[in-house]
Amino acid sequence: MDLGIAGRTAIVCASSKGLGRACAHALAQAGVKVVINGRDEQVLQAAAEDIAKQTGAQIIPVAADISTPQGQKALLAAMPEPDILVNNNGGPPRKDYSELAREAIITGVIMNMVTPIELIQAVIEPMVKRKFGRIVNITSASVKSPISGLDLSSGARAGLTAFLAGVARQVAASNVTINHILPGAFDTDRLKSGLQGEADKQGVPFADIAARRMAAIPSARFGTPDEFGQACAFLCSAHAGYITGQNLLIDGGAFRGAF
């Protein structure tokens, strides 16, 4: 399918690897000029070269921590008025809620709620004026179905979702959409790290922990970054202008509910 966005521009945050990179790759395949971002300059540069080679698109790497004003400034200097913004950022480490200090809570909220809001504030008015804009926020399945130990991440991302629910309706008439993708278990370094930690804790092989996790998913597998990226690209497409303020849960059926 032609997504109708060839020649458009995009910023994809935290996109040197994992789900962010998959989104950047899918947009580049659609003919979009993409700014990608990460904190490890070497990994970021390699990702930019690889995506450009595979897609032929122009990829601009910006090494920065987007949770800081300086990092956001660097990102926006590379592309001040993008047509598309994909918000993504690492979450706070798994930790029991009773052990969270005030500083850690504030840091988590800045990473997963304040940062995407600030970036949206910076880019949304030009989108409204051009009568085209696509904003996709990568949150988490834990927003819909809480996961023990991820309370801070879940709370901050849920706060972002609620904050933007009204904003999405304010800009919808200008063909600017705001949606969220809620990933479940995807085959990324972050997932593997968590599974390995659990395997070490229980003193069992990694394969056993991975098999148990997959067995709890109706699809009986982990998601692939590529299929996630393609879903993101569709929400950014010219065909998705009537989809806004929505939460797309992609979890292989793990959330057992009708709504």
For residues 192 and 53, give the distance between their C-alpha atoms in angstroms, rounded to a whole number.
27
CB atoms within 10 A of CB 94: 15
CB 60 within 8 A of CB 79: yes
Residues 70 and 191 in one domain: no
Residue 50 included in any domain: yes
Give per-residue pLDDT as tens, 204-234.
Answer: 999 999 999 999 999 999 999 999 999 999 9
Residues 175 and 147 in one domain: yes
CB 135 within 8 A of CB 177: yes
Report how far Cα 94 is from the mean position of its chain's Cα atoms. Answer: 18
Residues 153 and 217 in one domain: no
> Angle formed by the axes of helices 151-171 and 115-130, to 10°?
20
Residues 116 and 22 in one domain: yes
Give per-residue pLDDT as tens, 10-38.
Answer: 999 999 999 999 999 999 999 999 999 99
For residues 90 and 13, give the distance between their C-alpha atoms in angstroms, rounded to a whole number.
10
Residues 136 and 51 in one domain: yes
Q: Is 190 exposed, middle or buried (0-12, 13-18, 19+ CB in 10 A)?
A: middle
Quote the mean pLDDT of the chain: 96
Full strand arrangement of the beta sheet holding 9-12: 59-63, 33-38, 9-12, 84-87, 133-138, 176-183, 247-250
For residues 9 and 5, give the distance between their C-alpha atoms in angstroms, rounded to a whole number.
9
What does the pLDDT read at residue 31? 98
The set of residues, in sequence order, having a beta carbon less than 8 Å from that of 56 and lying 6+ positions away, is none
Q: What are phi and psi of 34, to 5 degrees?
A: -125, 130
Residue 1 included in any domain: no
Length of the chain: 259
What does the pLDDT read at residue 2? 97
What does the pLDDT read at residue 241? 98
Domain that holds residue 51: 9-185+224-250
For residues 11 and 170, give the distance between their C-alpha atoms in angstroms, rounded to a whole number.
22
What does the pLDDT read at residue 176? 98
Residues 230 and 122 in one domain: yes
Instruction: Name the stretches of the chain with pLDDT < 50.
Output: none
Residues 142 and 191 in one domain: no
Residues 198 and 236 in one domain: no
Token reading at 210: 């991975």
Give the H or E element holding residue 192.
helix 189-202
Side chain identity, residue 216: A
What does the pLDDT read at residue 146? 87
Residues 217 and 229 in one domain: no
Residue 259 included in any domain: no
